[in-house]
Amino acid sequence: MPVLSIVVPVFNEAQSIGVFLERVSPVIANLKLACEVIFVDDGSTDGTSDVIANASCTSMSIRLVRLSRNFGKEAALTAGLEASSGDAVIPMDVDLQDPPELIAEFVRLWQSGYEVVYGQRICRNSDSAAKRSSAGLFYWLFNRVSSLSIEPNVGDFRLMSRAATDATLQLRERNRFMKGIFAWVGFPAVGVPYVRPSRSIGNTKFNYWKLWNFALDGLTSFSTAPLRIWTYVGGAVTCGALLYVAFIILQTLIFGREVPGYASLMVVVLLLGAVQLVSLGIIGEYLGRLYMEAKQRPIYLVRDRIGFESEVSMAAEEAAVAPGVAS
């Protein structure tokens, strides 16, 4: 029987675990698949790990990977993918904004031959107008400056075959932008449109500052255009400066006027200073990421794993019984 792995990163989501399992369990029960749900506790402080460790479900195995501290959702998602053993893997959020009912359609399309099946949001009315606008701007900008194209309004909610999952895990960068990594890997893919519901339990852990930094990670991880653009900015400023010099010389020769004074000088100095500082900031973003990659630190550290020992003991029992059966 094929095995399905559902990977769920969580951070301070103790009140959401039970509701999540109640929604997912009947969906899995109707599938002819063995299923494991791997929760990755990303340094929770509200007893999330205790709730998961005490949870039980007849239709699927519940496993827990507890990280040593909060490493961020992208690292936690990577930890879950590495811990998975299924023939297909589905990363999804615990807040039920990724509808579990879509899992059956994901599995059907996977069994029909697709390596990747992703959920694509066709309506984001549950998000604020500012978030919808900023998300649309990000997808537009990313696809313009990067040679890689990502589908708009597609998050981490998807099904990946074992081959696609293993290929994804070969990308080992520390600053992880999973949407870009999923798109970079490729494989035959198809989208499933759905309406994203509002979050009914708990609060989001992403504020606008974190979303801004997340967008920077995405742009700098898969495009060098922010660096290259400053070559053109520098060329344009140089051309403008030369034209201005020529204008001043001609004005002085023809009309005998003096070179513009303090006000003009301050405008030029401040403008060039601002351009230089912004360009240094862009270079600093890339340099900081090179610094983090050069240190080769692990993406995450695991504190402990719960629910995986049963597999080891079962394999050991089968190995011990096998010689007796054979005789």
Average pLDDT over the chain reads: 76
CA-based end-to-end distance of the chain:
27
List Cα–Cα distances, 119 to 97, 127, 193, 234, 262, in angstroms: 11, 17, 6, 42, 59
Please report the pLDDT score of residue 240 as a whole number: 73
For residues 71 and 80, what is the distance between their CA atoms, to the nearest angstrom? 13
Residue with tokens 């769920």: 8
For residues 306 and 63, what is the distance between their CA atoms, to the nearest angstrom? 6
Nearest residue to 96 (alpha-carbon basis) of 168, 179, 218, 194 = 194
Sheet strands side by side (includes 61-67): 189-195, 116-123, 154-161, 88-91, 3-10, 34-41, 61-67, 302-306
Contact 74, 42 (CB under 8 A): no
Residues paired with residue 7 on neighbouring β-strands, in sequence order: 38, 91
Q: Which of 143-152, 235-244, 248-257 has the lowest mean pLDDT?
A: 248-257
List Cα–Cα distances, 67 to 40, 71, 72, in angstroms: 7, 8, 10
Whole-prediction pTM: 0.69
List Cα–Cα distances, 170 to 74, 77, 223, in angstroms: 15, 14, 19
Confidence of residue 159 (pLDDT cuts 50, 70, 90): very high
